């Protein structure tokens, strides 16, 4: 299959997530980066584009110029990756969607719910697709867990426990020159949620993706432990599901000893599942009354849903970059089907605008709940 011409907004020099998106986009040969507006300053944008070997004529000083020029070219980009800070998601996404260019956007959807709703209206009228890179849904064993829950292997779900713990904001590194920390702790760029928006939306999305359920009410206790920090760096959230299931969501960026501790535990009346992002090639399944079983990616009990997105034989570890690449490959399959006037194959799964809106409602609901002394609110 021919590579899909891809543009990128943001992700210039020293930008971690931009490099991740570029690797993910090309890992399976689905996309080829040909254009970019890679920085908010024209000089830095040009230097970044030159480092990546882009055609000088397709290195742009801003995203509006890029959208206009690429839409006019016969060989113009068919998709764009948006990898800017949160407050710069909505503008570029709207601009490219209006020109019929598919959008692949980093999470969270936007900085505010109002922006998210405005973006949703444009996306509904656009002929282009919108993909949100909640990359943890790309892990093969996360796909397997989802299939097992849907099949009823756990029975009726009772408990949903998801946590995402980090320690990199334990000190006020945003005042010591860390650019990644600066914008993530600034409400004008990050939005209403600190840890909530940065990693809490990942935890929320993962729990919903695997269980197929969204809480009908939440109660949140938010903290900013580092003196002077405006946004939350720690959140404890209780979850109530229709049908009686209960859950907890814990996120923290001030938990020493945790680098990227995203974990999911699910318990039903027939069994339980446990998965950790830091060891993603293993999934533990315990049928009630039976022995705990280790399910491995590519192993004897691999589900077809997991096998479809795995790249290597069992015993060869796949990780973060491969999971990210799965989202890009799924997006490419959806784009090709869409441009051929067909529906995506049913097995093709990727986070959508609806997932992004759900994440924004989650952040807003947590903030509202915390302001009302952890009152129960509907997300």
Model confidence at 40: pLDDT above 90? no
**What is the value of pTM for the model shown?**
0.96
Question: Cis (ω within 30 of 0) for the bond into 108?
Answer: yes
Would you place residue 2 in the very low, low, confident or very high pLDDT band (cuts 50, 70, 90)? confident
How far is 95 from 142, CA to CA, in rounded Å? 33
Catalogue all structural domains in the chain, each as residue range(s) with its CATH number. 4-128 (3.40.50.720), 139-312+357-371 (3.30.360.10)
Would you place residue 376 in the very low, low, confident or very high pLDDT band (cuts 50, 70, 90)? very high
Model confidence at 96: pLDDT above 60? yes
| For range 46-71, the mean pLDDT | 96
Radius of gyration of the chain (CA): 21
How far is 377 from 379, CA to CA, in rounded Å? 6
Question: What tens digit of pLDDT does each residue of 215-228 get?
Answer: 999 999 999 999 99
Mean pLDDT, rounded, of the chain: 96
Which pLDDT score, from 0 to 100, does residue 300 have?
87
β-bridge mates for residue 314, sequence order: none
More confident residue, 301 or 186: 186
How far is 337 from 335, CA to CA, in rounded Å? 5
How far is 211 from 106, CA to CA, in rounded Å? 23
| For range 76-81, the mean pLDDT | 98
8 Å CB contact between 191 and 108: yes
Question: What tens digit of pLDDT does each residue of 239-282 get?
Answer: 999 999 999 999 999 999 999 999 999 999 999 999 999 999 99
For residue 372 the two structure tokens come to 């009302």
| For range 18-47, the mean pLDDT | 95
Q: What is the 3-state secondary structure (H, E, C) of the chain?
A: CCCEEEEEECCCCCCHHHHHHHHHHHHCCCEEEEEEECCCCHHHHHHHHHHCCCCHHHECCCHHHHHHHHHHCCCCCCEEEECCCHHHCHHHHHHHHHCCCEEEECCCCCCCHHHHHHHHHHHHHCCCCEEECCHHHHCHHHHHHHHHHHHCCCCCEEEEEEEEECCCCCCCHHHCCCHHHHHHCCHHHHCCCCHHHHHHHHHHHHHHHHHCCCCCEEEEEEECCCCCCCCCCEEEEEEECCCCCEEEEEEECCCCCCCCEEEEEEEECCEEEEEECCCCCEEEEEECCCCCEEEECCCCCCCHHHHCCCCCCCCCCCCHHHHHHHHHHHHHHHHHHHHCCCCCCCCCCCCCHHHHHHHHHHHHHHHHHHHCCCCCECC
Which pLDDT score, from 0 to 100, does residue 1 have?
56
Question: What tens digit of pLDDT does each residue of 340-350 get?
Answer: 999 999 999 99
How far is 44 from 41, CA to CA, in rounded Å? 5
């Amino acid at each position: 299959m021919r590579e899909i011409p891809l543009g990128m907004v943001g992700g210039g020099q020293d930008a971690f997530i931009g490099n991740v998106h570029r690797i993910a986009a090309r890992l399976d040969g689905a996309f080829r980066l040909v254009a970019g507006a890679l920085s908010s300053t024209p000089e830095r944008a040009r230097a970044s584009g030159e480092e990546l070997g882009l055609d000088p004529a397709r290195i742009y000083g801003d995203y509006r110029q890029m959208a206009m020029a690429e839409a006019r070219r016969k060989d113009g980009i068919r998709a764009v990756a948006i990898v800017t800070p949160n407050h710069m998601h909505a503008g570029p996404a709207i601009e490219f969607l209006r020109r019929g260019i598919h959008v692949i956007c980093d999470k969270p959807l936007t900085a505010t719910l109002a922006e998210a709703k405005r973006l949703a209206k444009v996306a509904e009228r656009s002929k282009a697709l919108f993909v949100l890179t909640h990359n943890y849904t790309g892990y093969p064993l996360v796909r397997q867990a989802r299939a097992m829950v849907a099949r009823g292997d756990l029975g009726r779900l009772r408990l949903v426990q998801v946590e995402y713990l980090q320690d990199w904001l334990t000190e006020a590194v945003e005042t010591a020159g860390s650019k990644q920390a600066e914008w993530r702790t600034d409400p004008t760029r990050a939005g209403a949620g600190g840890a909530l928006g940065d990693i809490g939306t990942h935890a929320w999305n993962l729990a919903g993706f695997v269980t197929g359920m969204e809480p009908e009410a939440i109660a949140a206790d938010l903290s900013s432990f580092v003196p002077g920090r405006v946004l939350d760096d720690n959140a404890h959230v209780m979850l109530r599901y229709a049908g009686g299931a209960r859950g907890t969501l814990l996120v923290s960026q001030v938990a020493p000893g945790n680098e990227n501790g995203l974990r999911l535990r699910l318990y039903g009346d027939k069994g339980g599942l446990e998965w950790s992002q830091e060891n993603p090639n293993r999934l533990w399944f315990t049928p009630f009354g039976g022995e705990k079983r280790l399910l491995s990616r590519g192993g004897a009990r691999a589900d077809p849903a997991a096998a479809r997105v795995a790249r290597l034989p069992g015993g060869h570890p796949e990780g973060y970059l491969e999971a990210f690449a799965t989202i890009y490959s799924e997006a490419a399959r959806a784009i090709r089907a869409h441009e051929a006037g067909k529906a995506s194959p049913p097995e093709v799964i990727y986070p959508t605008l609806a997932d992004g809106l759900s994440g924004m409602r989650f952040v807003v609901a947590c903030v509202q709940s915390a302001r009302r002394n952890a009152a129960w609110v509907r997300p």
